[in-house]
Amino acid sequence: MARMNSTPTNQSTFPAPALDDRPATADAADMSSLTPNEYLPETTYLNTASYGLPSARALAAVRATDTNWAAGRGGPAAMDHLVPDMRAGFARLLTGANPDDIALGSGVAGLIAPVATALPPGAEVLLAEGEFSSVSMPFVYRDDLVVRFAPLAELAAQVRPETALVAVSVVQSADGRVVDLAELRAATKANDTRLLVDATQAAGWLPLRFADADYWVCASFKWLIGARSVSFLAVAPELVTQLRPIGSSWYAAEDRWAELYHPIALPATARRYDATPDWLGVVAASAGLSLIEEITVDKIGAHNLELAEQFRDGLRALGYEPIPARSPIVCIPGTADLVDQLAEAEVIASARAGLVRFSFHLYNSTDDVERALSALRTA
């Protein structure tokens, strides 16, 4: 059913279902959006695993920057003063990290490159079957490495002394399954193996510890409600100089303004892997991090997981069998062809690996759960 564009998604406009038609969530806790003053989506948006929605504060900040730029009163680079705070904000999401451990880039694969290129020829890399390709491709297409794939549930057991590196997303993009990082970290340490973790589908709702991996990468445009052009790399301090800088830009210099025309040195911190930032993206990503920090990861995680569990209960009542996962990503096997029908009902999800994938975040509510179930009932 189409909705008027002026109607926010957290105010239901669907007619109340008949009593015997009510979704299984009717008796569940009524959960409102955590951000009623920041978001007024016009659809039932359940697609954060593809792209998070920008907050009102992010939109206002980007517009103000653009306005100043258009007026000739300072381009986006004038917002470079936000970078240290943004770096520190991401570090706070990795308990135990500090800003010197964080490098900035535009995408996850580019930030994995210093790790991938530092591996010696013949090194073995272990990846999860079905891993998101931005994690696997930097290794798969380096043809002098030995790349193995293993089922996610067996990844820790598949680590062996000759394994140089394990690379994995802590929350899987395709189906929302969550890696047991404690088990995997114990296995990599026992075999003197490095561990690279992609937190793109986790940071912002799942508590993370810096010590649980040697390297972390994370894009900001999903659960961090940031920008497509801003991603992060975190490196354990003792490993910073063991990686190989790729395409170092002026922004990565020890003293970037003094070395603008005469390069001298890279810093001894993770900042040596910085790419020149997209400052409009920095503005948006900084706003997203500030909102997440205000609400807190713990509160967001509890909210997201509760909505996802309500949705799974409702799906089972409709006869669907969602993939089991303690995750805000909910997937139904064999239903990818339903995505277009759901979109016609203004329920926005995505198709991945033959699944329809729903994802719940801080701007979602119980109303969104019920609308999605209503749309599936008639699909």
Q: Assign 358 to helix, strand or coil.
A: strand
Q: Which residues contact 257 (CB under 8 A, 6 or more apart)?
A: none
> Residue 159 corresponds to which tokens in the numbers above?
């680590």
Q: Which residues contact 127 (CB under 8 A, 6 or more apart)?
A: 135, 136, 139, 140, 147, 148, 149, 150, 166, 167, 168
267: Cα separation from own chain's centroid: 28
At residue 379 the predicted structure's pLDDT band, cuts being 50, 70 and 90, is confident
> What is residue 31's predicted lDDT score, i.e. its pLDDT?
87
DSSP class of 291: H
> Residue 348 corresponds to which tokens in the numbers above?
């926005």
Q: What is the average per-residue pLDDT within 303-316?
A: 98
Element containing residue 276 per DSSP (H, E): none
The answer on pLDDT for 24 being more than 90 is: no
Q: Which residues contact 180 (CB under 8 A, 6 or more apart)?
A: 156
Q: Assign 110 to helix, strand or coil.
A: helix
Residue type, 292: I
Q: Could you report the per-residue pLDDT of 54-76, keeping only the tens digit for each?
A: 999 999 999 999 999 999 998 89
Q: Full-prediction pTM beyond 0.85?
A: yes
Are residues 139 and 122 in contact, defined by beta-carbon separation less than 8 angstroms?
no
- Distances from the Cα of 69 to the Cαs of 78, 178, 278, 296, 348, in angstroms? 9, 43, 14, 33, 34
